[in-house]
Each structure stands twice: as structure tokens, then as C-alpha cells.
Chain A
Amino acid sequence: MLSRLRIVRSALLALSLGAPTALAIPAHADDRPVSVGPYAQVSIGGQKMVGKTKRRTNAGPKLAMRVGTDLFSWLSVGGRLDLASHEVVLPRPPEGEYTQFYGGAGEARLSVSIGRVALYAEGSLGYTMISTNVLENVDILEPGEKFSPTIGAGGGLEYQLQNRHYAFGLGGEWNLLTEFARMHTVNVSAHMRYTY
């Protein structure tokens, strides 16, 4: 009987001594340190028209660059320049032509960090310029039309490297060009973001 009491007492003593130590060890690793401030981002991916104009262009590469600043760790604002190139598919001459879309927009981005990964959603408002009038041939462009206001929304995820400045991510975006026969585009891209 005495020996049983000794065992229980020893166990309770061990628990009482170990508990503070156990509570002091976090259950998971801290979030990685992340720079907050001015940033620059470059992304590369592909873009495709969707909707009624989709038959007139093939999917093509898209390059985008962004600069801006983090107002908070969860909110960023900035600007974007992008370039996309598409082969045009027309029912009559010319054949095998390419056209480029040059875009510029202001953006806002909301992000939520979950450990090393951040989820983000963004919206943009800007203008797109088309390089040639080749789509006049199928009435997507009006004569002399070169610019279109552009509204965009997108989102994705980002992986924060050990280095607090660098993050890599994957994202997608939808854009509506309010001119150009109300062309819709979707793109997916991979990006690298450097925060100063």
C-alpha cells in the first residue's frame, strides 16, 4: 500500500514539474518572418480568351510585372504592366498573324497567411491596348479601336521562403475588357515576389 502511494506521489510530482516546461514549447513552428513594405513581382503564364471571342485567338504566353507596397501585412496596393501575345484565328485572310495585348492597371490585394503559405485575392482596374487591328476582320474591333477599360479579379497562393524577402506563388485571374466585343480572358501564372 505504501509503495503504491509512493508511485502515485512520484507521478504527480513529475507531472507538476513537467507541465510548465511542456506549456512553454509551442505546439507548431512560428510563421516565417515576412517583409512588409514596397514590393516588386514578376509573373509568367498563359492566357486564353473565353466567351464569344474565344474562337478567334489561341492561348498565348503572358508576362506581368507588378510594383506596389504593403499597407499592412494583409493589404497591398500597386500597379501592374502586362504583355500577352496570341495567334489570331480568322476564317479568311490574313492567316497565321499574331497580336499583342499590352495592359496597365491599379490593383489591390488581400492576403491571409497560414504558416508558410499565404492565400490571396486581388482586384484590378485599368486599360488594355491591342497592337494591331487584325480582329476588325471578325468585328471584334471597331475601326480605329485600340484601347479598352479592363476589370480584373483573381487569386492564388504564395509560398514564403526562409529568406523574408522572397515568395513564390501560383495564381489565376479573370479579366473583362469592356470594349473589344466585351472580351473575357483568363490566365494562370507562376510568380516571384520580392518585398524590400
Chain B
Amino acid sequence: MTSLRQRKAIAALPLAGLFVASAALAMGCTEDPRYIFPDEPIRAAPIADEDAPPVLPVQLLLPIRLEEEKEAEERAALAAELGVDVPFVSIDDIDLSLEWSIENLDDSDAQVRILLTGANEYFAYVPASFVVDPEEEPTPPPLAGDIPLQIPALGTISGVFREDQIREASLDLDIITRGATNPFAAMLESHDGIDEIVVEGGTAIPSKAFASLIRFDLALVSNRRVLMRYALRARSHVSPNLVHDEGLAAVAGELTVFEPVDFVPPPPEEEAP
């Protein structure tokens, strides 16, 4: 026999379960994505002269909030423990994806390539910096993209650089720069799941110290007039969210200032006579 109180408690169980489920759902949404919308789309036009300089990329810098004192202390302690620089925005702190659509403004089919390079908080990747002799050496590939895309006349296509692709781009950048690896070699293989970046003659960089892209450099190469619209989607795994609440509209003093330098590879060692 169950008492009246017990029967009431049993009757209320489904409702209590729903409350708990919804609370759990709300808790699970702490990593809701935050979108960053650039002010202007990217426009591209056919390049008439093959000898023309490369297309200048458009830069999109992530609006990262200021680092809290406690975070800075923990990061300094981790850097001392690991013996390497630990970035504020590490690869495990944030997942990024870039969604885009390209509209063909001409009445004939277009072929387009998106070139995605960028920077972490230490270095920017500029493929042309690796070319000593443009006549003899090919330019290294970008961190992502560079795939020919066909767009029908006056049509629109859309796509996304997925989170895993951006993560791989971040890893490649760190391997090329702090890991001093040739970009062709770095791009050839996937580095998903690696534990460390081996540094010749230096301390290996463990995965806790892998730097994330914090700047996206996008260039569009096209044989027709096209317009690219895009948005960056960021999921921060750090609380408070690494991306400032107000995004690109945040006042400058509330954002972390990163000053990555263009990475210039060391000159090739001269052969011994």
C-alpha cells in the first residue's frame, strides 16, 4: 500500500523530470555559438594581367575579450611548467568555422578560388614570404581553400570551412612557424590528434600550448565579377566567452590587442664548400 503522499510524489515525478531535463538543456547551451559578421563583403574581379601582384587578402580579426588576471596567472604558470609560450587563445579553447556564399555577378560561368590564410597571436602566415626566387619556386599553398569552385552565370553557391578544417589550419600554422616546418610538408598531412609539435633543437610544444587562429586573411581569385559574403562562427569552451559580447562593435579598450608578426622563414643553410 502506498500512502497518499507517496502517490502524489509519484504523480509529480514526470513533471520533476521535465524540469531537470530542461535545466540540463539550458546548462548544455553555455557553448552556444557567437557569430562575427564583417562589415563588408569581399569583391573580386578578373585579373587581366598574369603578372599582376597577388590579390591582397581581407583581414578579419577575432574580437577577443581582455584576459582576466586569474587567467593570466594560470597561463604564466603553465608556460613555466611546459617551458614554452602558452597562447591566451589556444586551439582547445575555441572552435571556429567560416560560412560563406559567393554570388556571380556576371552572365557567364565563373571559376573562383578562396584562399584562407591568417595568424595566431604570435605569427601570421604569408605564403609569398617563403618564395626566394619567384621564377623558380612555387608559392606555398594557403592554410585552407584554394579549390576551384564553379558558379553558374548570375548564380550563387555557398559553403563552409568546417571546425575541423580551421583547427587543422591552426595546427599547420603553428607547425610551420613555431615548429619551423616547410609549409608544403606541413600541409601534406593531417595533424588531427597530435600530442606535440616537435621543434628541432628546442622544447617540443605540447597540445595545451597549440595556438588557435585569431585572424583570418581571405582572398578571392576569380575570372568573373563575384561577391563573397561570409560570417565567422565561434564556439568558446572557456567561460566567460572568449569572444566579446559585442563582437566587432566592442570598444577597442575592451579587446585584446594581438600583434602577430609576419613569419619569415630562416634563410636556407649554405652548403659547406
Q: Which residues on A are within 8 Å of B, measured CB to CB?
A: 40, 42, 63, 65, 81, 83, 92-95, 97, 100, 102, 131-134, 136-137, 143-144, 146, 165, 194, 196
Contacts and interface: CB of A to CB of B under 8 A. Distances in A.
Contact of A94 (B18, B25, B233): B233
Contacts of A83: 22, 25-26
B126 to A, nearest CB: 26
A19 B50 CA distance: 111
B73 interface: no
Contacts of B19: 65, 81
B6 to A, nearest CB: 13
A146 B245 contact: yes
Interface string B232-262: 0100000000000111111000000000000
Interface size class of B (residues with CB under 8 A): 20 to 34
B99 A94 contact: yes
A194 B35 contact: no
Contacts of B99: 93-95
A38 B240 CA distance: 38
B34 interface: yes
A48 B26 CA distance: 21
A93 B100 CA distance: 6
A94 B231 contact: yes
A16 B136 CA distance: 124
Given A83-B26, A132-B32, A143 B246 contact: yes
Contacts of B230: 93
A63 B21 CA distance: 11
Contact of B8 (A95, A102, A146, A196): A196
A134 B99 CA distance: 12
B52 interface: no
A100 B29 contact: yes
A10 to B, nearest CB: 54
A83 B89 CA distance: 32
A131 B101 CA distance: 24
A102 B26 CA distance: 8
Contacts of B35: 94, 132-134, 136-137
Given A93-B99, A194-B11, 7 more contacts: A94-B233, A132-B33, A132-B34, A133-B35, A134-B33, A137-B35, A196-B8
Contacts of B33: 97, 132, 134
B73 to A, nearest CB: 27
Contacts of A133: 34-35, 247
Given A42-B18, A83-B25, A95 B158 contact: yes
24 contacts: A40-B12, A40-B15, A42-B18, A63-B18, A65-B15, A65-B22, A81-B19, A83-B25, A92-B231, A93-B99, A93-B101, A93-B158, A93-B229, A95-B101, A131-B29, A131-B32, A132-B33, A134-B33, A136-B35, A136-B37, A137-B35, A143-B245, A194-B12, A194-B15
